[in-house]
Amino acid sequence: MQDGLTRRRSLEWILGLGAGAAVGGGWLASAGGPAGTPGKRRSEHLMSSPQKLPSLFLAHGAPVLLDMPRWVEELKAWADALPRPRAVLMVSAHWTEAPVTLGATRTVPLVYDFYGFPRKYYQQQYPAPGAPELAKRVKALLSPHQEVADEPTRGLDHGAYVPLVAMYPGADVPVLQVSMPTLEAKPLYQLGQALAPLRDEGVLIIGSGFITHNLRALDWSGESPPPSWAVDFDAWTAQALDRHDTPALLDYLRQGPGVRQALPTQEHFVPLLVAMGAAEGQPVSYPITGFFAGSFTRRSVQFGAPPA
């Protein structure tokens, strides 16, 4: 996001694509009610024998993702293939704050951290329950090694709530968002390692971002193939994940082909490292792949047993 003009042109293009996908009322109209309508509230209490969950990294799109039926269906199918989580711990590209900071532990307004969109995107709701017990557990895991802060009025940003609207549309799974305290690769990987025990407790750890993210390289027509640097960096990342090459992934800024074009800034890539650290050595699968808006890979990663 280099300047206001680029941002505005980018949003205009994406919104044009989203509007085309929303013909006939879009997914929100066909899902049985407006997104964010509260469903039956789910208790956050630890299940008697919770299943071990994988950790996920997902491409979170933009607010208009919810007008793109294919992407919504893919996210929902992915969620349905997983054991039902007790709670979600979300790490989004859109919240970097040191020290590690815990967001609201009750239902508070969403963070509409974007501009230039039609009004309806600022009316989106997702009243998921808070996760105060999970917040206590995260503090217990992290506090012996680093400072942990609270921001009790901080709601879910679009990197968190947009994919969750698609995955758990009933807003009935408790959610806790935590900040990334840095953009440095190794500390974020270690953060994931520290959070790994939560997977045994029925908590779904999600990193939300994009493996490639260059708004200057959006395809205005929507018809051109993805540029070679985006394809190359996406493929390099997948190959490194497949061979569990943690050192290479932590050194992505030097080793990744086309990284300067693929990632002019790093905040969208590094949530991948948190998810990877939370399930190191686990099988890797890709429930969603392909490209969006020309250069944005939709590659999303599951660390742990693939969906049945």
Residues comprising the chain, all counted = 308
User: Does the structure show a pLDDT above 60 at 269?
Assistant: yes
Average pLDDT of the residues of the chain: 86
155 within a domain of the structure (yes/no): yes
- Give tens-digit pLDDT for 192-232: 999 999 999 999 999 999 999 999 888 856 678 999 999 99
Distant-in-sequence, close-in-space partners of 52: CB < 8 Å, separation ≥ 6: 199, 200, 304
- Give tens-digit pLDDT for 170-187: 999 999 999 999 999 999
User: Does the structure show a pLDDT above 80 at 47?
Assistant: no
222 within a domain of the structure (yes/no): yes
Among 180, 82, 194, 184, CA closest to 141: 194
What DSSP line would sit under 82-113, residue for residue? SPPPSEEEEEEEEEE-SSEEE--SS-------
pLDDT of residue 97: 98
Angle (CA) 192-78-52 rounded to 5° is: 45
- Give tens-digit pLDDT for 120-172: 999 999 999 999 999 999 999 999 999 999 999 999 999 999 999 999 999 99
Q: How far is it between the farthest Cα atoms of the chain?
A: 53
pLDDT-based confidence at 7, cuts 50/70/90? very low
Average pLDDT over residues 29-36: 31
Residue scoring higher pLDDT (265 or 25): 265
Radius of gyration of the chain (CA): 18
44 within a domain of the structure (yes/no): no
271 within a domain of the structure (yes/no): yes
Q: Structure tokens of 257?
A: 């082909």
Q: How many CB atoms lie within 10 A of CB 48?
A: 5
- Using an 8 Å Cβ cutoff, are 93 and 210 in contact? yes
37 within a domain of the structure (yes/no): no
pLDDT of residue 50: 73
34 within a domain of the structure (yes/no): no
pTM for the full predicted model: 0.86
- Give tens-digit pLDDT for 68-82: 999 999 999 999 999
42 within a domain of the structure (yes/no): no
User: Does the structure show a pLDDT above 80 at 11?
Assistant: no
What residues make up the domain containing 180? 4-23+52-303
Structural domain total, the chain? 1
- Using an 8 Å Cβ cutoff, are 285 and 307 in contact? yes
pLDDT of residue 221: 67
144 within a domain of the structure (yes/no): yes
pLDDT of residue 219: 84
Q: What is the CATH number of the domain that holds 137?
A: 3.40.830.10
